[in-house]
């Protein structure tokens, strides 16, 4: 038998173990894909991801990118701030994508820097921001603040023949497949990370971004897959904004290239699915899976043929902004669907909340960590009722092929026009808009205001018209227009708490 003294010692040790376990903070791994749609079924190839995250956690059915373009969306995700507060407008240096201004101001206040200050060890591998590594912005020697292990891709997504900054040193790769290399570095980090510190990882593969290059082992998969032809596939755009009405009005009869793109996108995602599986197995082997949050999402969506638009993002429609969002982790329910609206701008404050770190007051996003409490999950008072979408259109004559026969003046205002996509331009300067997605008990609506000469407006009841076929803006009353435009006006000047107040307010009457 234990003596009284021994019993007291054992009790103290046992109590300390309990306290240590209660105080231990979770780890985080964010899988961030590129241009992965939700509505065109790109989760079908992700069976291991569904098994390991969705079936063991939560699927958010109403998750949205704040902007349907890579650099602005990723910048918003990293900072927890809206575009008007970080001034990232497009994928160019002049648009503040990984520019000197960005690096000297907002990049010093990202999720990584805040977690680093809170004691986390941070890791990044893959695509960062489209202009990362630009010689006019410190090149590849630049390591964003907060990261201890850094494997940042130079420029935009590639699958082979890419360059990485490995902790500030430029390294060229030729035969390697980027998604697989990200997995190698991730597993190496998990094997060698400090044992006494929690960690935060972002794994950012190039899939499913162009040029849609699968790993050789996957190049024969999905041989019969074709593009998904929903009701809005090749549908009339006569009641939509200017760029959608540019010729050609409809897609040609031969759309083999669209089927090829759909198939190749799925093929590229198989490597991502393997990445998720390998990381999960490593966490199991290390016995830390149960103390790690796994988050899977994309920076924006994608369209293929909707409204006669060949393939791209950049538009305000659901294909381009509605994204996959899965999450599993400590104390989260299993295999549940959450219909609470969330935006990528909410991810940084949510992670900081779950990490028991301080959420800066000037973050525009709102934490949805409280939703994981079963009691708060039923409480609508702290639920986001409004999601803002914003995009700044570009004109880039260099991306307009001369064979498309646009005048020099028109070419200056257009972008991404090529023979390959039948000279159907994907962007223009007047493709600049701000939208509200409003959620209430009765319905879900979208109101978009374009900053063009006409102040063109689009409005959809997404419950009655999920494919956005019928623009109802001309039928709104002047009062209804004023309400929506007031919200957009308030959004453009909000910051921190004023943004929170705006999205948490009930909008049952609009």
Alpha-carbon torsion angle 111, 117, 122, 125, nearest 10: 50
Contacts (Cβ under 8 Å, ≥6 apart) of 104: none
Residue carrying structure tokens 């390959």: 420
Contacts (Cβ under 8 Å, ≥6 apart) of 350: 365, 367, 368, 369
Q: Sign (positive/negative) of CA torsion 484, 485, 486, 489?
A: positive
pLDDT at 3: 39
pLDDT at 375: 53
Render pLDDT for 297-314 as a digit per residue (tens, 0 to 9): 999 999 999 999 999 999
pLDDT at 13: 39
Contact assessment for residue 342 and residue 325, using Cβ atoms and an 8 Å cutoff: yes
- Give how far Cα 497 sits from Cα of 352, 360, 502, Å: 16, 10, 9
Q: Which tokens in the block code for residue 179?
A: 């998604």
pLDDT at 440: 86
pLDDT at 374: 62
Render pLDDT for 346-375 as a digit per residue (tens, 0 to 9): 999 999 999 999 999 999 999 999 999 765
pLDDT at 237: 87
Contact assessment for residue 476 and residue 459, using Cβ atoms and an 8 Å cutoff: yes
pTM of the full predicted structure?
A: 0.94
pLDDT at 506: 75
Residue carrying structure tokens 């004109």: 395
pLDDT at 507: 74
Contact assessment for residue 393 and residue 427, using Cβ atoms and an 8 Å cutoff: yes
pLDDT at 130: 97
Mean pLDDT, 10 residues at a time, over the chain (510 residues)?
A: 38 39 83 98 98 98 98 98 97 96 97 98 98 94 98 97 98 97 98 94 98 98 97 93 92 96 98 98 98 98 97 98 98 94 98 97 96 63 86 96 94 96 96 95 92 95 97 96 95 96 79
CA nearest to 235, candidates 308, 312, 318: 308
Contacts (Cβ under 8 Å, ≥6 apart) of 497: 361
pLDDT at 442: 78
Active site residues: 70
CA nearest to 426, candidates 253, 300, 256, 303: 303
């Amino acid at each position: 038998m234990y003596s009284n003294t021994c019993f007291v010692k054992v009790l103290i040790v046992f109590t300390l173990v309990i306290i240590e376990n209660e105080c231990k903070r979770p780890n985080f791994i964010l899988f961030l894909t590129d241009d992965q749609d939700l509505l065109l079924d790109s989760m079908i190839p992700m069976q291991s991801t569904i098994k390991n995250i969705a079936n063991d956690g939560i699927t958010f059915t109403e998750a949205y990118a704040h902007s349907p373009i890579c650099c602005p969306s990723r910048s918003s995700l990293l900072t927890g701030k809206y575009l008007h507060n970080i001034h990232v407008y497009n994928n160019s240096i002049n648009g503040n994508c990984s520019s000197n201004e960005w690096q000297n101001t907002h990049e010093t206040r990202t999720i990584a820097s805040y977690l680093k200050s809170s004691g986390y060890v941070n890791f990044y591998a893959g695509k960062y921001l489209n202009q990362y590594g630009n010689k006019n912005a410190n090149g590849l020697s630049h390591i964003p603040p907060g990261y201890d292990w850094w494997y940042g891709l130079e420029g935009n997504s590639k699958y082979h023949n890419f360059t990485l900054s490995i902790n500030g040193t430029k390294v060229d790769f030729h035969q390697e497949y980027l998604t697989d290399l990200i997995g190698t570095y991730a597993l190496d980090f998990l094997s060698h990370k400090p044992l006494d510190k929690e960690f935060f990882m972002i794994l950012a593969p190039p899939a499913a971004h162009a040029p849609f290059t699968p790993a050789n082992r996957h190049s024969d998969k999905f041989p019969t897959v074709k593009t998904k032809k929903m009701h809005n596939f090749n549908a009339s755009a006569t009641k939509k904004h200017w760029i959608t009405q540019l010729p050609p009005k409809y897609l040609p009869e031969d759309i083999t290239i669209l089927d090829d793109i759909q198939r190749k996108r799925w093929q590229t995602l198989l490597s991502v699915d393997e990445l998720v599986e390998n990381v999960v197995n490593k966490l199991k082997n290390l016995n830390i899976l149960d103390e790690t949050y796994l988050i899977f999402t994309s920076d924006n969506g994608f369209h293929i043929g909707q409204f006669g638009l060949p393939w791209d993002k950049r538009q305000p429609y659901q294909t381009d902004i509605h994204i996959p969002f899965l999450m599993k982790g400590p104390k989260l329910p299993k295999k549940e669907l959450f219909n609470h609206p969330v935006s990528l701008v909410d991810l940084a404050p949510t992670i900081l909340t779950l990490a028991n770190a301080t959420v800066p007051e000037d973050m525009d996003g709102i934490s949805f960590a409280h939703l994981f409490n079963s009691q708060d999950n039923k409480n609508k008072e702290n639920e986001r009722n409004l999601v803002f979408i914003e995009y700044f259109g570009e004109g880039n004559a260099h991306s307009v092929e001369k064979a498309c026969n646009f005048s020099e003046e028109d070419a200056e205002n257009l972008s991404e026009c090529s023979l390959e996509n039948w000279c159907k331009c994907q962007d223009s300067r007047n493709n600049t808009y701000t939208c509200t997605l409003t959620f209430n008990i009765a319905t879900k609506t979208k109101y978009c205001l374009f900053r063009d000469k006409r102040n063109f407006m689009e409005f959809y009841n997404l419950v009655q018209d999920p494919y956005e076929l019928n623009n109802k803006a001309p039928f709104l009353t002047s009062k209804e227009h004023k309400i929506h435009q007031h919200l957009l006006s308030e959004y453009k000047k909000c910051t921190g708490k004023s943004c929170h107040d705006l999205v948490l307010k009930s909008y049952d009457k609009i």
